[in-house]
A = this chain, B = another copy of it.
Amino acid sequence: MSSDFALESIEVSSSPRERFVEYLQSKGKRVTPQRLQLVEHIFEGHDHFDADGLIDEVARLKGKRISRATIYRTLDELVDAGLLIAMSLRGRRVYEHDYGYPQHDHLHCKHCDKLIEFHSEELQNIREAVAREHGFRVTSHRLIITGVCTDCGRKQNRQQSPLDLV
C-alpha cells in the first residue's frame, strides 16, 4: 500500500502473453512454444477471427508448426483465461480479444460478414432490469444487430443472403 509502485498494483498492464503464462502456471499447465506462439500471434493485432483462419495464418509462420488440434485446445484455454471471447456466428465459432477491450456488442453485415463493434451504456441497464424482473443471475450477454453495412449498401445489394441465420 505504501509502496513506491502502489498505483501499478491497480493498473496492472501485463501483456496477453504474461497473463496467459500466469494462467497456465496457476492451473499447473505447461508453458509450451505452441501456446506462446499462439497468444503472441493472436494479440498482434487482428481482432475477430475463427479457428480456420488462424490455422492458415499460423501455417505460414516462421516458428514451430502447430496442429489443428492444438489450436482448438489453446483457443479454449485462452477463453478460460479470459483473454478471448467466443461467439457463434452462422454456426461457426468466432473469437475476439477480451483482454484490454471494453465491453461491446456487434453489428454484423450479412453480405461481407464484417463485424463492427459498438458500445451502449443503456444496454447494461436493460440487461439488469430484465434479469431482475425474471430472477435471473446474468453472467454475460450478446447482442448482434444484423443488416447491411455502408459499403455493401452502396453496392446496391444485388444478391440476397441464402440463409438468414444469425
Q: Is A165 an interface residue (CB 8 A)?
A: yes
**A118 / chain B contacts, CB cutoff of 8 Å:** 130, 133-134
Copies of chain A in the complex: 2
In angstroms, Cα B107 to Cα A137, docked, is 10
Partner of A122, one of B126, B134, B153: B126
Q: Report Cα–Cα, A109/B126, bound state, in Å.
A: 17
- Which residues in B have their C-beta under 8 angstroms from that of A122? 122, 125-126
In the complex, the chain B residue whose C-beta lies closest to that of A166 is B142
B120 touches A145 (CB 8 A): no
Q: Give the residue among A136, A142, A146, A147 with the most B Cβ atoms within 10 A.
A: A136
* A9 at the binding interface (Cβ < 8 Å): no
